[in-house]
Amino acid sequence: MPNSHPLLPGNGTLFFDVNQTLLDTSGLNQAVAQRLGNKPERAEAWFTSVLHHSLVGTVTGSFHSFGDIAEAILEMTAARYGITLSEAATPLAEIIAAMPAYPDVANGLTALQQQGYTLVALTNSSAALAEKQLSSAGLAPLFTRILSVEQVQVYKPDLRVYQWAMNEMGQPASACMMVAAHGWDVDGAKRAGMKTAFVARKGQALYPLAPSPDYVVDDIAALAAEIAPLC
């Protein structure tokens, strides 16, 4: 049922994380695990380390693209376990660009667009990669803008990213919501003044010491039902 007291105006702006929120990363995880000795736990460690080093770059002022960081961390992780990576392997960026959307996403985004919300992608991926991702998944026409952190040279959840994104869209925080499947992403957005919605994808959990999100939903279709404007 629609929320009886919607937190956003019907013409509000919804910012969406892309990887693991809209797009299914299981194929990427399988590819990385295969390259690291067929060990799924190593793929999980790889992704955690990618996030870690993106934030190290933000703190130290040494920005590199997310794709470059991903490849560098793959090399580092392989070296840690004494694995020699194949030079003939498909670049990770190509795998990332072809990741499919979760089954709920297209219908959920369409419903939100029809309800009058402006949809914006806000991603740690480069702008070129994000455009490929959303086009490949058939989602690009649903978005008004695709915003990449490369334009501000810092990574989410740095508060400057969310503040910049709101400025880009010319919207006050009261009219904006960040939608993500990462506790750290909704934490950063909340502290920047946005409303937030956590998408509880499999394997994702909220950080107990962070502010609670305004909504917790199972998927994007559920979010559309939850925040449908009252007639």
**In the chain, what percentage of residues exceed pLDDT 70?**
95
Window from 7-21, 115-129, 142-156, 166-180 with minimum mean pLDDT: 7-21
**Residue 75 CB neighbour total at 10 angstroms:** 11
Give the tens place of pLDDT for each residue, 185-197: 999 999 999 999 9
The secondary structure element, H or E, covering residue 60 is: helix 40-60
Pairing outcome for strands 195-199 and 176-180: parallel
Q: Give the whole-angstrom CA distance, residue 136 versus residue 107.
A: 16
* Average predicted confidence (pLDDT) for the chain: 94
Tell me how far CA of residue 218 lies from CA of 3, 104, 133, 157, 179, in angstroms.
15, 10, 22, 22, 12
Omega within 30 of 0 (cis) for the link into 157: yes
Q: Give the whole-angstrom CA distance, residue 20 versus residue 42.
A: 18
Which comes out higher in pLDDT, residue 6 or 75?
Answer: 75
Mean pLDDT, rounded, for 207-224: 96
In this structure, which amino acid lies at residue 62?
S
Q: Supply the pLDDT for residue 7.
A: 67
Asked if 10 and 229 count as a contact pair (C-beta separation under 8 A), the reply is yes
DSSP characters over 65-117: -HHHHHHHHHHHHHHHTT-PPPTTSPPHHHHHHTPPBPTTHHHHHHHHHHTTP
pTM: 0.93
Give the tens place of pLDDT for each residue, 195-205: 999 999 999 99
